[in-house]
């Protein structure tokens, strides 16, 4: 029973994070800025949860996020699964208490996911400099926001679990 509650709380906080990011992207759309913070959804389940409950959250979040963006359905499921497995693989090599390690993982996973999505969505403009200028601008701004917000989001998720009496 405790694991079900933990999964629900982490899933809820991750969905709230996603909704806030969608809201921010709607605000920034008039400036042609798109924040891609996909690794935020993977960090807590990958670093702090057991494998299967964390993977269940990744599946739910991937399918939810993928439903609202113009990618073939299931693409984010594959990318998030890959990112989750990478985080789980390096979980023993990196210390989750060290914010530098966590930020390195978050930045790396986010950059890989953004690059793969940019290659998938290129629509024939792969070799134009304006496409890659836009990609690098979005990557830079997303990385800056990710580095600022990831520790806050992780601490808030830990706080919700602590207040629920689980951890």
Q: Which of 155, 156, 146, 135 is nearest to 40 (CA)?
A: 146
Has residue 14 got a pLDDT over 90? Answer: yes
Has residue 141 got a pLDDT over 70? Answer: yes
Q: What's the confidence (pLDDT) of residue 2?
A: 52
Q: How many structural domains compose the chain?
A: 1
Which one-letter DSSP state was computed for residue 127? T
Has residue 54 got a pLDDT over 50? Answer: yes
Has residue 15 got a pLDDT over 50? Answer: yes
Over the stretch 63-74, which tens digit does the pLDDT of each residue have?
Answer: 999 998 888 899
Q: Which of 150, 157, 152 is nearest to 14 (CA)?
A: 157
Q: Which domain holds residue 150?
A: 2-163
Q: Which of 37, 60, 28 is nearest to 109 (CA)?
A: 37
Q: Which of 154, 51, 29 is nearest to 99 (CA)?
A: 154
Q: What's the confidence (pLDDT) of residue 27?
A: 95
Share of the chain above pLDDT 70, in %: 95
The pTM of the full predicted model, rounded to 2 decimals, is 0.90
**For residue 1, what pLDDT band results from cuts at 50, 70 and 90?**
very low
Tell me the chain's radius of gyration from C-alpha atoms: 16
Over the stretch 58-97, which tens digit does the pLDDT of each residue have?
Answer: 999 999 999 988 888 999 999 999 999 999 988 777 777 7
**For residue 16, what pLDDT band results from cuts at 50, 70 and 90?**
very high
Which one-letter DSSP state was computed for residue 111? H
Q: What's the confidence (pLDDT) of residue 166?
A: 65
Sequential DSSP letters for 88-152: HHHTTTS-TT-HHHHHHHHHHHHHHHHHHHHHHT-TT-TT-HHHHHHHHHHHHHHHHHHHHHHHH
């Amino acid at each position: 029973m405790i694991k079900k509650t933990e999964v629900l709380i982490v899933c809820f906080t991750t969905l709230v994070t996603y909704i806030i990011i969608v809201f921010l992207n709607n605000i920034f759309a008039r400036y042609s800025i798109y924040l891609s913070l996909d690794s935020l959804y993977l960090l807590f389940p990958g670093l702090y949860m057991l494998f299967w409950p964390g993977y269940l959250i990744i599946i739910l979040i991937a399918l939810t996020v993928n439903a609202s963006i113009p990618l073939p359905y299931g693409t984010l499921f594959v990318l998030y699964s890959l990112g989750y497995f990478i985080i789980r693989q390096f979980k023993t090599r990196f210390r989750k208490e060290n914010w530098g390690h966590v930020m390195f993982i978050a930045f790396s996973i986010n950059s890989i996911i953004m690059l793969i999505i940019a290659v998938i969505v290129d629509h024939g403009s792969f070799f134009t400099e304006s496409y890659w200028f836009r990609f690098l601008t979005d990557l830079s701004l997303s990385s800056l926001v990710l580095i600022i917000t990831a520790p806050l989001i992780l601490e808030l998720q830990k706080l919700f679990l602590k207040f629920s009496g689980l951890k």
